[in-house]
Each structure stands twice: as C-alpha cells, then as structure tokens.
Amino acid sequence: MSYELVFDVKRGDFDKAGEASRKIKHTLQQLGVSNRIIRKISIAGYEGEMNLAIHSLGGKIILAVGENKLTLTIEDVGPGIPDIKLAMTEGFSTAGDEVRSMGFGAGMGLTNMVKNADAFEITSEINEGTKIVMNFIIQ
Ligand SMILES: Nc1ncnc2c1ncn2[C@@H]1O[C@H](COP(=O)(O)OP(=O)(O)OP(=O)(O)O)[C@@H](O)[C@H]1O
Ligand SMILES: [Mg+2]
C-alpha cells in the first residue's frame, strides 16, 4: 500500500518556511521511520522547501509513502533553472542580498539534496517551473 501527502509552499512566505518539512518529519516519526532516514529526508525536504519559497513563484512538496521507499517530489511554477549543472555546483547561488541576510544563499541546497537522497532527479523548463524527485530507501 502506498499513499501521498501534499504540502503547499508559497513564494516568499518566510514566516511559514520550514512548516512543510516539520510536518513531514512529524508524519515520518508517527510512521516509525528510523531517525537516520528522517534526518536525511528532513534536510532534503527543508532545502527543497526553501528553494520554493526563495526561487520559485510557489509550489508543492509531495511525500509518497511506499513499502520500501519514501519519495519526495518538489515541484513549482516559476522561472525554471537555465543551467542545471551550474545550479548544482556547490557554492553557486543567484540569491539576492535580502535572502542572504536571512542566512540563505550559500549555494548548498541542491548539493545537500543529492548527498542525502538515495536517488535524485531534476528537470526544469524555463518560464514554467522545476521538478525534483528524490527517493529514500527505508529498511
Ligand atoms: N526551484 C527553483 N527555481 C528556480 N531556480 C532555482 C530553484 N532551485 C534552485 N534554483 C537555482 O539554483 C541555485 C542553487 O540552488 P541551491 O539550493 O543549491 O542554493 P541557494 O538556494 O542559492 O542557497 P542555499 O540553498 O544554500 O540557501 C539557486 O541560487 C537558484 O539560482
Ligand atoms: Mg537553496
């Protein structure tokens, strides 16, 4: 059996930023997922959530719970990423001063997702949006 939970993330909503990742963490704790896996998903989910709030026009995070794996899909409507390879480079960021003053914009988010997920896929269309699918094996 598998099911999905969907969390909306609004652009620029820094008051609520982190709420979706917190709810995902809580859900996984209730499901009895190990702390090691929860930590990985929480990091990847938080980075994805912040990217939606900062770089997109808004989007959603979908947690799919399967028998052997958890899938986190993070998709948005937004500007898209012109050069994915460059965006995935550690330290690359287009974040402005305001975002940096809040502690974001180190250019580490996508790298952290890759490091924590067991599988990571990203697709992006200019002026349409970006979609990231991450799998986490649970055992
Ligand atoms: N959903 C998105 N839509 C459009 N551009 C994005 C999106 N996610 C990432 N990017 C682009 O990729 C760059 C790198 O993203 P990444 O998350 O690695 O770093 P960051 O968000 O700039 O900083 P950090 O995550 O360390 O706070 C961003 O600066 C932005 O240009
Ligand atoms: Mg980021």
Instruction: CATH number of the domain at 131, please.
Output: 3.30.565.10
pLDDT by residue for the chain (139 residues), tens only, comes to 678 999 999 999 888 889 999 999 999 999 999 999 999 999 999 999 999 999 999 999 999 999 999 999 999 999 999 999 999 999 999 999 999 999 999 999 999 999 999 999 999 999 999 999 999 999 7
User: pTM to 2 decimals?
Assistant: 0.97
What is the rounded CA–CA span in Å between residue 114 and residue 110? 6
Residues with CB under 6 A from ligand 1: 47, 51-52, 54-56, 76, 78-79, 81, 87, 92-95, 104-111, 130
- What ligand is nearest to the CA atom of residue 80? 1
- Domain tally for the chain? 1
Q: Which atom of ligand 1 is nearest to the CA of 78?
A: 3
Boundaries of domain holding 46: 3-137
